[in-house]
């Protein structure tokens, strides 16, 4: 073996060592987990706890005794109120769950027929009413008639999630950065979602409605005569307790 061959063979050793060290260094980068990555939690509570519009459920429960086969006056009002709400916001049929093989099942059947009549009187078509039968596992439980329908609803949360400590900690590197904690604003978002009457108002404005013609005619008539068009409320002056600020 010549001297030139020895030099060529031993000259590759430093190159192999450098490649080995580089691969070890790159492999060590994979040991970093996502737990130490910062800046992944949004600082705005509207982004941490967004309000989503989904399909929920509206329901009422009608208690039926075993010896009474008709609705009480408050129950009739509940059924009529649910039917009117369905016409305004329902996205599916009204399901009526009727118990079977219970002491009050016979009375529940009579109540079901009365409920169908009330729904029809308010304007709910027959094809929008679905009857379902269910069994009660515990015979001591009073079986009820349940009415429900799907509707659009706004939801937010869940609240009460604390992924990091509030105080100084090794697991809370952003403590000294004066950033809001994760659960801040969740209750406000959840309450707003529960209180909104029309979830579509959170996504887009409503279309303009027709003007109040009667009031507009009065305002135009006063404008034509050169009178003040503003509305006066004399009872406001009578209800004042002090003249401070005049």
pLDDT, one tens digit per residue, over 84-137 is 999 999 999 999 999 988 888 899 999 999 999 999 999 999 999 999 999 988
CA dihedral 207, 212, 217, 220 (to 10 degrees): -50
Confidence of residue 31 (pLDDT cuts 50, 70, 90): very low
Provide the pairing of β-strand 144-155 with 52-63. Answer: antiparallel
How far apart are alpha carbons 107 and 104 in whole angstroms?
A: 5
Three-state secondary-structure class, residue 57: strand
Determine if the pTM surpasses 0.75. Answer: no
Q: What are the phi and psi torsion angles at 2 (to 5°)?
A: -85, 165
56-70, 131-145, 185-199: range with lowest mean pLDDT = 131-145
* % of the chain surpassing 90 pLDDT: 44
Confidence of residue 7 (pLDDT cuts 50, 70, 90): very low
Distances (CA, A) of 229 to 213, 221, 223, 224, 233: 15, 9, 6, 10, 13
Q: Is the pLDDT of residue 1 over 60?
A: no
Three-state secondary-structure class, residue 148: strand
Domain assignments of the chain as residue spans, ordered by start: 55-151
Q: Domain 55-151 is in which class?
A: alpha beta
pLDDT, one tens digit per residue, over 219-238 is 999 999 998 888 877 777 77
pLDDT, one tens digit per residue, over 178-226 is 778 889 999 999 999 999 988 988 888 888 888 888 888 999 999 999 9
Instruction: Please tell me the predicted confidence (pLDDT) of residue 17.
Output: 54
């Amino acid at each position: 073996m010549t001297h030139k061959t020895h030099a060529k063979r031993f000259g590759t050793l430093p190159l192999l060592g450098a490649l080995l060290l580089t691969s070890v260094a790159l492999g060590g980068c994979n040991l970093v987990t996502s737990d130490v990555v910062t800046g992944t939690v949004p600082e705005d509570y509207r982004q941490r706890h967004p309000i989503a519009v989904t399909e929920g459920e509206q329901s009422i429960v009608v208690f039926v005794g075993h010896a009474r086969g008709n609705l009480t006056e408050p129950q009739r009002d509940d059924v009529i109120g649910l039917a009117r709400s369905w016409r305004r916001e329902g996205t599916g049929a009204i399901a009526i769950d009727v118990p079977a093989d219970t002491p009050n099942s016979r009375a529940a059947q009579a109540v079901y027929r009365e409920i169908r009549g009330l729904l029809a009187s308010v304007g709910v078509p027959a094809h929008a009413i679905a009857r379902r039968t269910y069994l009660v596992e515990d015979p001591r439980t009073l079986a009820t008639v349940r009415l429900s329908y799907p509707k659009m609803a706004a939801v937010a949360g869940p609240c009460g999630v604390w992924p990091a400590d509030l105080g100084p900690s090794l697991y809370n590197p952003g403590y000294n950065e004066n950033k809001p904690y994760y659960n801040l604003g969740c209750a406000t978002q959840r309450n707003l979602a529960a209180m909104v009457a029309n979830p579509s108002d959170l996504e887009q404005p409503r279309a303009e409605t027709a003007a109040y013609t009667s009031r507009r005619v009065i305002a135009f008539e006063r404008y034509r005569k050169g009178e003040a068009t503003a509305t006066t409320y004399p009872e406001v002056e009578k209800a004042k307790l002090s003249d401070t600020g005049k």
